[in-house]
Structure 1
Amino acid sequence: MKLKRLRDHPKLLEQAAAWFASKWEVPVEAYKESMELCIRQQQGIPQWYVVLDEKQGIIAGAGVIENDFHERRDLTPNLCALFVEENYRCQGIARSILDFIRKDLGEMGVSKVYLITDHMEFYERCGWKFLTMVRCEEGELIRMYEADCCGWDVSLA
C-alpha cells in the first residue's frame, strides 16, 4: 500500500474525486474543484491524500480544506473525508494517514489542524484533543478536535 499526496500525482484526480464522492454526500464536481486547486497551487489548503492498493485502486483517503461545513470559520484548516474501505480497517491505515497529513501540513508551516467528528475515542487515541462543540450547517452540535502539525517524524511514502 502506498500513501500518495494528490498534488504529486495529478493523474489520480478523476479516480480520487469519484472515490471520495462515492463515500460522502458531496458531489464529484466539488471534490474535483478542490483537488484541481490542490494540484495547481501545490502548497497551502486544500490538500488531498489517497492510499492505493497493489492494483492502484484507492482503499483510503482524506483531505484538508478550509472549513468542513461548520460555523467556526476561525478554526482552520480542517481535516475532512477520512475514509478507509471496510476490508482494510483495523490495520493502522487511518492513523498513518492522520500522522502523514500532520507532518505534511507542518512542513508547509501549518501549526494546527482541526476536525469535526463523533468518533471520539479513535481520534483521542491518535493524539487529537477535544477543543469545543461547534454547530454544523445542518444546525446540530458536534465535537471539534485539534492536533499539532509540527515536530512529526513520519516517513513519506
Structure 2
Amino acid sequence: MEYKIIRLIDQPDLKEKAALWFHEKWEIPLDAYAQSMDECLACKGPVPQWYVALENERIIAGMGVIENDFHNRKDLAPNVCAVYTEEDRRCRGIAGSLLNYVCQDMKSRGIDTLYLITDHTSFYERYGWKFLCMVQGDGEEALSRMYIHES
C-alpha cells in the first residue's frame, strides 16, 4: 500500500472532497470545514492547516490544525483536530506518519508546541505526545484528555 501525505495548501482542488470526508467522519457541519479550509487556502497565517493521506485518489486519513478544538482551555493552542484513519487502513502507521508530518510542518511555520484532545490513552504517546491535563469540551460535562507535543 502506497499513500502520500498532502497539505491542502499544496493541492487546493482537494478542498471540497476533503471537507466532505471530514464532515462524514466527525458530523461537524460541512460549512465549518469548508470555511476553515478557505482560511487555510487564503494563507493568512500558519493556522488553520489541513492534511490528508491519499491512496490513489482515496482519502484514507486526515487531520487539521486549528486554534481551538471545542474545549474550554483557549490558552492551549493551536490544536491538532479531526484525526481519523479509515478503519480498513488502521494499524499501519498512517496516523503516526501524519502526526509526525504535521508536527514538522508546523515547526517549519514557527509553531513548536501543539495540543490535542482525545479520549484515547496510550496511542499518542507512541508519537512523542505527552498527557498534559483534563479539559472540558464546549457544552459538555465530561472531561477529555489534553496532550501536548513540543518540537
Amino acid at match of 2:18: A
Amino acid at match of 1:33: Q
Provide Cα deviations, 1:80-115, integer angstroms capped at 9, x if missing partner.
Answer: 001000111111000000000000000000010000
Q: CA deviation at 1:60?
A: 0.6
Amino acid at match of 1:50: V
Q: Find the aligned partners of 1:118 and 1:44 in 2 and give their Cα distance.
A: 26
1:143 to 139, 142, 145: 145
1:88-127 alignment, distance < 5 Å: 88-127=89-128
Please name the residue that 2:131 is paired with: 130
Q: Find the aligned partners of 1:6 and 1:64 in 2 and give their Cα distance.
A: 12
Provide Cα deviations, 1:51-84, integer angstroms capped at 9, x if missing partner.
Answer: 1112x11111000000000000000000000100
Q: Does 1:63 align with 2:67?
A: no
Unaligned runs of 5+ in 1: 151-157
Please name the residue that 2:31 is paired with: 29
SS in 1 for 2:91: coil
Please name the residue that 2:73 is paired with: 72
1:3-18 alignment, distance < 5 Å: 3-18=5-20
Please name the residue that 1:45 is paired with: 47
Unaligned runs of 5+ in 2: none
Q: CA deviation at 1:42?
A: 6.1
Overall identity of the aligned pairs, in %: 53
Amino acid at match of 1:64: V
State TM-score, norm by structure 1. Answer: 0.92
State TM-score, norm by structure 2. Answer: 0.95
